[in-house]
Amino acid sequence: MFRLLVQELKFRRNAIIGWGVGLCFFPLVYIGIYPSVAEEMAGLADLEIYAAMGVNIGTFGDWIGSILVVLLPLVASIYAIGNSTGTLAGEEEDGRLEMLVTLPLPRWQIVTAKALALMISSFLIYLIVSIVSWLVFIGIEGQIETDLMGVDMFRVVLSSWPYVFAMAMIALFLAAFCSRRRFATMISTAILVIGYFGSNLSASTPLLEPFEPFFLHTYLDGTGTAILEGQKTGDILVLLGVGAVALLLAVIFFQRRKLTVGAWPWQRDKVEK
């Protein structure tokens, strides 16, 4: 399995660099411009529209939380979904999976190696962004008032990685379950988008409040307090737990799948009499 993991990471090398550099846009722009727009943003802090989007811009901590904890994982999840569904379902569609499953490797190892590669690659992308965030913060540190330190940027960025992990594993499960990449992508994206808006709306609409725990985004806290004190351990465990369950389901369904023939797991053969 280790060999396959190494290989899968090699395949993702360009994606890690590309997405890592691309996502640095967030700290470079949003942290970088903060000193010049801080006063204007303080005046906009009470707008409901921002609350609906899960964005709070009252203080630097709130602002950082909104960008690095609320929005960054949403964009990083696009990588996670694309990459997860491209593997298994995508490889099955284009035929490469046949070469892989006919190697002397158990299927659970194939899924696990791919899952580990996804985890590591998304973590490395986050690592690049966190280092850049730290460096940008050092650049503006003298121009803003905040209790945060450079090293906190590192922690803040990495604190939302469990969300990306959960989304990656959900997408991987769907890729193992479906034989079609587009279905897996469609459903994963729906979970991402509905989770984001659902969480924000249910937090601000009493009618939707009972549904709040069902939205994955609920377990990301982008408030200034959470930025200072860190994400709640319970929230992190929920996200990691969702990811782990999704991975387990991916392994189970991939083990049972009739590969290469585009069959759905519930399809049963009917022998003609």
Contact positions vs another protein (CB under 8 A):
3-4, 6-7, 11, 94-96, 98-99, 101-106, 257-261, 263, 267-272
Q: In angstroms, what is the C-alpha Rg of the chain?
A: 20
Side-chain-side CA neighbours of residue 231 (13 Å): 27
- In the bound state with another protein, the residue whose beta carbon lies nearer, of 49 and 99, is 99
Least Cβ distance, residue 180 to another protein (angstroms): 16
Least Cβ distance, residue 10 to another protein (angstroms): 8
Least Cβ distance, residue 248 to another protein (angstroms): 20
- In the bound state with another protein, the residue whose beta carbon lies nearer, of 13 and 182, is 13
Distance CA 255, CA 35 (A): 53
Q: What Cα–Cα distance (Å) separates residue 107 from each residue in 11, 83, 176?
A: 19, 19, 11
Strand ranges in 50-151 using DSSP code E only, listed in sequence order = none
- In the bound state with another protein, the residue whose beta carbon lies nearer, of 102 and 204, is 102
**Structure-token match 């004190």, residue found:** 229
- In the bound state with another protein, the residue whose beta carbon lies nearer, of 189 and 260, is 260
Least Cβ distance, residue 168 to another protein (angstroms): 21
Identify the sign of the CA torsion 47, 51, 53, 55. Answer: positive
Least Cβ distance, residue 81 to another protein (angstroms): 21
> 256: Cβ–Cβ under 8 A, 6 or more apart, which residues?
265
- In the bound state with another protein, the residue whose beta carbon lies nearer, of 96 and 232, is 96
**Vertex 246 angle, CA 200 and 19, to 5°:** 65
Query: Is there a contact between 251 and 112 (Cβ–Cβ < 8 Å)?
Result: yes
Least Cβ distance, residue 2 to another protein (angstroms): 10
Query: Is there a contact between 156 and 62 (Cβ–Cβ < 8 Å)?
Result: no
> 173: Cβ–Cβ under 8 A, 6 or more apart, which residues?
246, 247, 249, 250, 253
> 64: Cβ–Cβ under 8 A, 6 or more apart, which residues?
31, 148, 153, 156, 227
Least Cβ distance, residue 71 to another protein (angstroms): 31
- In the bound state with another protein, the residue whose beta carbon lies nearer, of 41 and 105, is 105
- In the bound state with another protein, the residue whose beta carbon lies nearer, of 16 and 226, is 16
Least Cβ distance, residue 62 to another protein (angstroms): 43
- In the bound state with another protein, the residue whose beta carbon lies nearer, of 232 and 256, is 256
Neighbouring CB atoms inside 10 A of 215's CB total 20
